[in-house]
Amino acid sequence: MIAPRVPPIGALRRAAAISAALVLAIAVAGAAPPAKRKASLVVTGGTVVTMDAQRRVLSPGAVAIVGQSIVAVDTPQAIAARFAAADIVQADGAVVMPGLINTHGHAPMVMYRGLADDLKLMDWLQKYIFPAEAKTVSPEMVRIGTRLAALEMLQSGTTLHTDMYYFEEEVAKATKEAGIRGVLGQTIIGFPVADAKTPAEGLARAERFMLAFRGDALVVATVAAHSMYTVDAETLKATRGLAAKYGVPLLTHLAETRDEVDESMAKHKLSPAAYFESVGFWDTPAVAAHGVHLSDADIAILLRHRVALSHNPESNMKLASGAAPVTKSLKAGLAVGLGTDGAASNNDLDMFEAMRQAAFLNKLSEGDPTAASAQTVLEMATLGGAAALGMADRIGSLEAGKLADLIVVSMRSARQTPMYNPVSHLVYATRGDDVRTTIVNGRIVMRDRRVLTLSPGAVLADARKLAARVRAAVEPAPAQSSVAR
């Protein structure tokens, strides 16, 4: 054993005296190093996929955050030199990227996940989903369902979700509780539903909701017309008017199935996109979900009115609705975001899987493996979604001045090894479970897989309890002679 070398006391005193003199000399000369700026959080050491205008990838890179905003994206050394961080997230072995933006969904429908699969759309809707909704949609169901959806979303890297459902104020409260963003539309539909007997009642409720959450830091409160086949022309106009009045994006479903187009042609002699145009529905920024069956003329209509599309490949495949003309829409100049749709037709809310399926579906439908490249699909899930929602100046990329919505995604599994190209891995080899840390609006909502905003045990227990009521609602009462289960 070698004794540790301890300098004699005299030497220490001399050293202290010299350094004190040095500090004094620097102060007198005015040459003190500039004080570091305080950062509330620095994420450092990972491969930073910025999605900025140059699509820079910094390996390694770092992101400095002050409050809700990103203030710098640079090398770890440059960030360390400029900022004193109150908190540091080490991202070694991981990709740091913008949070994923889900542009279409029905969060509370996670409660109907796996309730009925492998059915024709109308059987599925009329025998299972509508009866289940008629008997179980309530503020409590929406609250429990949205908490479950928000837990799944923040665990899989979604930092903003777009929603169309009922009792939307409960969706908003649960979204805020989870600490993620929402563009949330109170649904307007032409028949009596749990939260409104008439469309007029629904519109009044929507306006109260929009006023209640106006100016919220996380929630954009808006209104959603369910579709052109469930809402009459007068109500469509009133819905558009409400979104325009508050300057929020109008939400709807568009041309999801061949039947929708055929019925529209038979009834109005117009395609769904043309019918919406004829009633002035597109005269305000809107996001249309699906757009599976769009003609070139329809795409021209959407472009003329700057209508954005939400592409939902998994729902479209599961319900055999078809493949949306994504490449054509992008080439025409439409903003195209990516969505999961509700969990009843997906059956999960994993945006990594949505990216992978978007690439595969579009390659297959176009008979072209160069279609929907990894880069294109990653853009749809980040910047494209931000543009579709009219928020591209605030989110969708990692740049100074943008809001701090970012995720740390582990790249260390066997499935992700080796890594030559992070963008390829994010789309083709990564799953939601690989997300380690999720940051929204500068706040860490999940850190190293530990959820900090919701209590996962309680969220899951509440959902399981409610599921018993959902099951009872769709199962016929057992006959006298039925076998006990």
Which residues here bind Zn ion, judged by CB under 5 A? 341
Residue with smaller CB distance to Zn ion, 340 or 376: 340
Minimum CB separation from Zn ion for residue 231, in Å? Answer: 14
For residue 320, give Cα distances in angstroms to 4, 298, 366, 484: 73, 21, 16, 36
Nearer to Zn ion, 42 or 254 (CB): 254
CA angle 65, 68, 72 (to 5 degrees): 30
Give the shortest CB-484-to-Zn ion separation in angstroms.
Answer: 38
User: Residue 90: CB partners within 8 Å, gap ≥ 6?
Assistant: 44, 45
Shortest distance, position 457 Cβ to Zn ion, whole Å: 30
- For Zn ion, the closer of residues 175 and 340 by Cβ is 340
- Min CB(226)–Zn ion separation in Å: 9
Least distance to Zn ion from the beta carbon of 217, Å? 26
CB-nearer residue toward Zn ion: 341 or 379: 341
Joined tokens for residue 366: 């176009």
Nearer to Zn ion, 254 or 330 (CB): 254
Residue placing its CB nearer to Zn ion in the complex, 251 or 383: 251
Q: Are the beta carbons of 299 and 271 closer than 8 angstroms?
A: no
Give the separation between CA 203 and CA 367, rounded to whole angstroms.
44
Between the two ends of the chain, the Cα-to-Cα distance in Å is: 72
Q: What CA dihedral angle connects 92, 97, 103 and 104, to 10 degrees?
A: -10
Q: Give residue for tokens 């009219």.
A: 390
- Pick 74 or 341: Cβ nearer Zn ion: 341
- At residue 209, the 3 state secondary structure works out as helix
Q: Using CB atoms, what's the residue nearest to Zn ion? A: 341
Cα pseudo-dihedral 311, 313, 317, 322, rounded to 10: 40
Q: Where are the alpha helices (DSSP H) in 334-455?
A: 351-366, 374-379, 385-388, 422-428
DSSP H or E run through 438? strand 435-440
**Least gap, CB of 385 to Zn ion (angstroms):** 15
Nearest-approach distance from CB 155 to Zn ion, in angstroms: 22
Place of tokens 């928000």: 150
The nearer residue to Zn ion, 288 or 451, going by C-beta atoms, is 288
**Minimum separation from the CB atom of position 433 to Zn ion (A):** 25
